[in-house]
Every structure is written in structure tokens, then in C-alpha cells.
Structure 1
Amino acid sequence: MKTDRRKFIKKTAGITVLSALSPLMGMGKSSLLSSPNPDNGHVFLTKPYLQNPTSNSMTIMWIVNMPSYSYVEYGINSKMEHTAREVEDGLVVAYNRINQVKLNELKPETTYYYRVVSKEIVKFDPYDLVYGETIKSDIYSFKTPSATADHVSFLVMNDIHDRPHTIPHLMNLYRNTRSDFVFYNGDVFDHQEDEEQIIEHLLAPSCNTFATETPFLFLRGNHETRGKYARKLQYYFSNPGGGQYYDYRWGSVHFTVLDTGEDKNDDHEEYGDIVNFDPYRVEQLEWFKEVSKTKAFKTAKFRVVLMHIPIYYSGNWHGTTHLRALFASEFNKTGIDICISGHTHKYGIHKPVKGKHNYPIIIGGGPIEGNRTIISVKANSSSLSLNMVRDDGTEVGSVEI
């Protein structure tokens, strides 16, 4: 079953570490700092969730309901003899609720155990710091990637549109398969309303299913740019490089992740003159040209692009046509091997068309039952295989490179 995307949208409206991103320092009494439910005492609003993995580091994030001083206890056994906290310019990050701590100097291909700790700060005067209740999470574990292995395996979901039950349902289709990471390829939400939405519709189902022990990476879709809370969404994730678009190398694969922005003109009346995506997409093109010159890109056996709006098979809306004008020839010139997108709510495997797109374009499905998909990708030094499975477990497409 397939659904028209636009009709649907109208219906639903001891180690000290340095952090690459510390968004809460100095934010005062903003909505990110104020407790959403102080009558509950000091509690975790999320379990810890893993972000931005490398062979020698892992970023751990979690949210509490009261301003706190927080840290991670971890080690190669359950004794967890190390402690890591977030430090910025000599100040330990404190009196915040959204926590992001990067564990550095880890050993590749090693299992670590960890738990997170948050100490409520009930008084924070210049010379009078008073702690309240200390809360500790359960103990979880993760395994760092290998520094030398050529293989990588990952899962991709897209266009969930505020249906949190979709996440465990689709992940359950691969419950007996180990993946290195999970990738959210845009439009997890209809729009950005508040923190509770982010927790209940993404973080909680992810943590309850996999994210305490398997990391995920996040990419905005056009719907994540909408709503009064859209400008705060970035504080809930830790992407490579700390930005909305980024690249990374894992095994034999180089990944380029593009933030495709909105699907209509910047001056469209729906946006109220507060978006500016055309220059932003041009900025990404210039960035991609530099990325394509790097050793990580050139020496990769496979080059994968992840972007929410595909440059073909997505109609002639402005976002699609602008992306096509910018990236179509550049993708062909630099030798992209595969592009994975969403947005259209119509799943499909589009084979290469010489001179148009010399690589397959894979588009995941939409949010309606019977049209939801999850994409599995595995690659090593000699081959890359992709399988797309519908929510009833039926394979609906595959690619072998």
C-alpha cells in the first residue's frame, strides 16, 4: 500500500574530556533549563543514549528534569573505575538538564560498561553550591568499533512522523541481527513542538529498543525544520563534527550526510520569512567538494550519501530541483556509489541511469502501516549489499554492488 505524501501531511499536522558541543552553558532560565515536572523530584527523563561512535570514543547523552551536575562512570568491567565529565574552557558543565559526555581514549573493539549519574543542584550561588538528590542509571554496555576492520552494518529508518510505535516494530524485524549503528534519515516528527515530543516520540522508543547499547545518528528532514521548537532540536543529538550536515568513515564506507532543508521556496508564505535554505544548500555543495578531495573519501571502497530529500523521483518541488541542480553532476563526477533518501512516502529502488544518476537511489517508505520500511546495509572490502524490508517483513527491494 502506498500513500500520497502531501495528502497525509495535511491530515496530520577521572578522565576530563572536552566536548565538541556544549549548548547549555550560559543559557540562563531558558526552556532548556527549566524543569518540565519539578513535582516529580529529581528523575531521569530518558535513559542514556549513544551518539557519535568512533574506534576510540563514544558520546553518551541523557536528560534529567532538574538542573544538575552530571558525569559518566565507566570501565571494561562492572567496577567502572573511570569517571568522565564535560568540560568547557576550564569549567565543568553544570546546572543543565541535557547532558552530553564524550568518553575519549577508549580501546578499539572493546566492550565497556557504563552508567550515568546526575546530582541535582538546589542552590547555585557564587560561593554557595548545594547539591540535592543524586540519581544513577542502570548499568549498560557498548562495544567500540574496530580501528582496522573493513566491514560495517547499519539500519536506516525515515518518515516516521510522530508514530513512536513504528521504531520498535521495525527494529524487531532485525532483532537477531547486530548492527553497528542506526540512522534516522529525516522526518521522524511532523514538526517540533517541545521537549516532551522529542523524548516520547524518538528518544524513549529508541532507548527502550536499542540506543543504550547501539548508537544512532540523526539527520533532519524538512519537517524537523518546522515548529516553535525546531531551533532547539540540535541540542538533543551529537553528530560527527557537531553540525547538521557531516561526513564520517566506517570500515570500507565513506558516508556523506546532507541536510536538505525545506521542500518549498524560502519566500513561501508557509515559512513566514524565517528560513534561508538556498544559501545553506550551496554552502553544503562547497563543503562536499572539499570532502571529496579527502583521503577518507578517495580511499573508501564505497561512497554512500544519506539525504532526506532525493534529487530525483521526488517531483519538481523547489527543494528537489535546487538539490538536483547543485549535486547531480557533482555526485556523478565524484563517484557516489549509492544514495539513500526518504521524503516521498513511496518506497522504491531506482537503478542507475547513465548520465543522470550513475548510482542507485534508494527511497524509504512512509508512516502508514503497510508502507513503512527499514533498510539494512552491510559492506566489506569487496561488496555492499542493501535490503529494504516492509513492516510486514516482506523484502521490497535490494541492491548489490
Structure 2
Amino acid sequence: MSLNKLDCYGVSERFLGEASLYPAFELGRVISQYRKLYKIITNKGEVFAEVSGKFRYEIRYLCDYPAVGDFVMLDQAKEQSGNRMIHNVLTRKSSFERTSVGAKDQTQVVAANIDYIFICMSLNLDYNLRRLERYLSIAWNSGATPVIILTKSDLCINIEQKLIEMDQVAIGVDVIVASGMEGDSYLQLLKYFKRGVTASFIGSSGVGKSTLINRLAGKEILLTSEIGKDDKGRHTTTHRELIPLPQGGVVIDTPGMRELGVDSVDLAKAFADLEKLAESCRFKDCSHKDEPGCAVRDAIEKGEVDRKRLESYHKLKKEARYDGLTSKQIETEKLNSMFQEFGGMKNARKYIKKHNKRSIKY
């Protein structure tokens, strides 16, 4: 069966393989969401769908519900409402999450199955290294690869200095300099897009996200706005939407920073330089505050690390409820959260071990 339509919406062999496990259902991808209703693209075209009663009954957490970017399995026939039924959400390879409003200790998926996260920051009023650290922490934790786009370079007179600062903060991350005034700036992004690739653009409003997406799409599909004198842009994107690109790949345009929390962050990658220095601290559980023999504070005193970077690290740890924990302890907390239905990672291991013993045949 031809999958041309799904080809245009980022389907890959990985998802086709998993979908083959459900021969009675049809594969589709969520392209937008409206409360409890989903717009889905299938090989036959666009359809509207809702979660089946059985699936809804089996869902334990909000993050289990479908989100924009998810690949789902649908009933072949329409219900009396005229909508299709979603019976399964295929395994996500990455997900953008935020704390759910009104549901304690639960997260909600903002967008799923993203390969690249383009972090847009303008080189004029929006430029802020601390905000960038926050974005990078969230991006790394999602499972996608972050790429930084510095927009509006035509309004910056010290680009070289800004790039030096980027090297100290965005370790191992590609940095692209673009300008909305230059018609071919977006061409630098084409190397990231091909069949099966999904990308997301995040950043403050007015930094040029919609302009870049319009250029990639080859037409004006998103409204644009500018950053005002008060350093605040107007939100021109109010919901998430999956947009296919003519050169291959798709884009999920997401609203601004207010959509994303820091309950789930990857500080080890976003602050890789501090993590490396921490290996030389006298104490393995050094908090880098007032312990003797702290290699991180020593590097700061020598001018090798910006003091504000350590302050940002502490702030993000506190906001993410990891204050006072070492990197190893943070990873343990994340695993415990993943296996909370078993009472934590330790109990999950006991369950798996016991289950495996029962499975042994003599």
C-alpha cells in the first residue's frame, strides 16, 4: 500500500514497523488537537478522531493521551458521530512535556516525535543567555537534538562576541546565524530536513520563528509579529500544528516559553562544562556552594566560568525540584518518576526479576 501522504508527514520505517503489529487498524499521525478532538492525517487523507472508550479507560496518566506529532492506530470505520476512534498511540521517540494545570504531579505532552528542536533567539532585544540555558535543558530532556538559530543578525553590531558567548553556553550544539532581512538565510536549515524528520521551533514571540517557517514552507502560512520596545513579542501561534515542507520533513510550530516548564530538564547536557568540572571536586556530592575543594567555584574564581552560569544551574535545579541532588541522584529521581506505578525504580526491578523467574520453563 502506498504511504505517500504519510511520507509527507514524517513517517519512518520505525513507525511503519510498529504499526504492522496492529493489522486491524489504520496508521495516522496527529496534526492538530482541539480539546478532546484530534485532526489526523492518514494515507487516505485528513480525518477527525477521538480516543476510544477502552483506551480512555486504560489510560493512567495525562501524558498517555495523544498529542500533536503522535503516530496513532485508528478504527477503519467511522462512528455515529462521524469521527474515527484512536485505539493506540505508538511508542514515542521524543516528547516535549509541561506540568499539567490542575493535575498534581502529572505532565502533559506538548508535542511528540521531534528530531530537531530549533531554539530561536534574536540578536537584539531578546538576547538572553540564561533563557537559552533554560531552553537547552528542556530540549535535551525531550530526547530531540537542539539547534540554535540566532535571528535578526542585521540588527546586531557585535556578532563575533555573541558567538563566543554561545560557545561557552551551548556546548556541542550547532549555531546558525540568520536574518529576516536576507531572503536566503533559511537555506542553512535545509540540511536538517529530509523524509521522516520532524522539527520544532521554540523561542520568544517576535524573534522570527514564523518567518523562518514561512520561508521553509514557501508560502505565508503563519502570521508574524515583531518584538516591541518593552522586549515582549505578541504570541502569533495559539495552538500546535504539524506543517509539511515541500523539500521533505515536517515542522511543529509551538507557542512560546509559557508552554514549557522545567519540571523535566537535562542539566547534565545543558551544563556539560560544569558537570565535567564537578568530577574534580573533593566531594562527589558537592553542591558547588560552600564546600572546600570545589573545582567549579575554583574555575569561577579563575575567570574560566561565568558566575552567572552557576547561578542559572542552581536556579534550574531548584525549579525542577532537584535542589540539593547530585547528577546521579537526579537521574535516579527521573527513573523513579518513570516507574511510579510500581512504587519507584527499585520495586520495578523486583517486579521484572520476579516476572522473569515465572517465565522460565523447566
TM-score (norm 1): 0.24
Higher helix share: 2
Higher strand share: 1
- Greater Rg by CA: 2
TM-score (norm 2): 0.26
